[in-house]
Amino acid sequence: MTNENEITMVTTPQQLAIKNLFARDEVKQKFQEMLGKRSTGFITSVLQIIASNHLLSTVDPSSVYHAAAVAATLDLPLNNNLGFAYIVPYNNKAQFQMGYKGFIQLAQRTGMYRTLSAAPIYEGQLVEENPLTGFVFDFKQKKSDTVIGYASYFQLLNGFEKTFYATVDEITKHGKEYSQTFRRGKGLWIEKFESMALKTVIKLNLSKWAPLSVDIQKAITLDQAVINNEDATDISYADNEETPPDPEHQRMVLMIQQAQSIEELDKLGEHITAEQTELFDTKRTELKAQTK
C-alpha cells in the first residue's frame, strides 16, 4: 500500500537520486530537528516540486538538499503557490530563492516592525517624487491599469519609517543586471514579474534602511544563491553577481536608528559612509525635534 504522502513519480536518475537522498535517516532526522512534526510534509513538498519541474529533476541532488535546508532553517514553506521561498534550477544546480512574502514573514517575526508592505504603483498615483524627503502616493488617483513602478514601505515600532520606490524600467534593469535567466527571457522574472518586482523593492528597502534580524540577513545573503555545504557558509551566485550586504553597514544602520540623543548620534558621525548620510541626517532632525 502506498502512503498518500509518498512521491512515486520518478522519471530520471537524478529524480531517483534526490528521492533517495531525502529518504536517508540522517536527512529526515535533520529536517525533524528543524521543523518537528512538520518535517514529513516539508520533505513531501520538496519532492513534489522536483517531480513537477523537469529542469529541477536534472540538478545536483545535494544542491536541492542544501536549498531546502535553508528554507527549513528560516521556517519558510517551499510551495510555489504560496510565494514564501522557491527552489530554482540554474544549469545543473538548485538555487534557494526568497519570495516577497517570505521577507514580510521574517520581518513580522522580529517584533520590530509596525508594518511592512509593497505595492505596484499605477499611472496617476505618484504625486511627489523626492529622494530626500520621500515619495508621496495617492492611491485614489489611478488613471489607468498601467503600472509605472513598485514601492515598499516599512515603519518600525519606534516610529522610524522609510519608503523605497523604483520605476518599472529601474526594476527591469536591476533584474537583468543580477539574473542571467531574466536576460535570456526565462525564469521567475518572466513567469512572476510582479512578485519579483515586489520582492526587489522590499529587499532593497530593508537592506539599505532597516534593522535586520539574523534571519533577514541570512535571507538577503542567500537569496538566489547555490548553497554548497550544509551550514551555508560556502555559497555561489551562478545566476547573480550581486554582492551580499556588508555586515558593518548593517551594524551602523542599526546604531543610527537606535540612537537616543543627538550627542550619542554625533559620536557616530565620523564613522558613517556616504550611503548612511541621509539616514543620519533624518535621525538627527528627528532627535532635534524631540528636544524642543
Q: Supply the Cα-derived Rg of the chain in whole angstroms.
A: 21
195 and 118 within one domain: yes
Q: 176 — phi, psi (to 5°)? A: -70, -30
* Alpha-helix residue ranges (DSSP H) falling in 36-152: 39-52, 61-73, 100-110
Distance of CA 21 to the CA centre of its chain: 27
3-state secondary structure of 181: helix
My answer on whether 89 and 174 are in the same domain is no
Within 10 angstroms of residue 168's Cβ, the number of other Cβ atoms is: 16
Q: Are residues 79 and 122 in the same domain?
A: no
Task: Please classify residue 216 by burial: count the beta carbons closer than 10 Å to its beta carbon, then call 0-12 exposed, 13-18 middle and 19+ buried.
Answer: buried
Residues 276 and 194 in one domain: no
192 belongs to a structural domain? yes
Cell numbers 535621525 label which residue?
283
Q: Is residue 239 part of a domain?
A: no
Residues 81 and 33 in one domain: yes
pLDDT for the residue 8: 47
Instruction: Tell me, yes or no, whether 34 lies in a domain.
Output: yes
pLDDT at 2: 42
**Which of residues 186, 210, 234 is at a domain's end?**
210
Domain boundary among 210, 238, 269: 210
Mean pLDDT, consecutive 10-residue stretches, the chain (292 aa), reads 46 83 95 95 94 87 96 95 92 92 95 95 92 86 96 94 94 90 86 94 94 93 91 82 59 83 86 78 83 70
**Is residue 7 in some structural domain?**
no
Do 119 and 58 lie in a common domain? no
Question: Do 121 and 79 belong to one domain?
Answer: no
The angle subtended at Cα 117 by Cα 114 and Cα 121, nearest 5°, is: 140
- 8 grid coordinates: 512515486
Q: Which of 180, 210, 240 is the last residue of a domain?
A: 210
Reading the block at residue 115, the C-alpha cell is 508594518
pLDDT at 242: 47
Q: Tell me whether residue 217 is in a domain.
A: no
Number of compact structural domains in the chain: 3
For residue 234, being part of any structural domain is answered with: no
The answer to the question of residue 243 being in a domain is no
Q: Are residues 93 and 121 in the same domain?
A: no
Tell me how far apart the alpha carbons of residues 43 and 71 are, in angstroms, rounded to a whole number: 11
Whole-prediction pTM value?
Answer: 0.77
C-alpha 235/C-alpha 228 separation (Å) is: 5
Residues spanned by the domain of 276: 250-291
**Does 17 map to a domain?**
yes
Same domain, yes or no, for 79 and 134?
no
Same domain as 60, residue 134: no
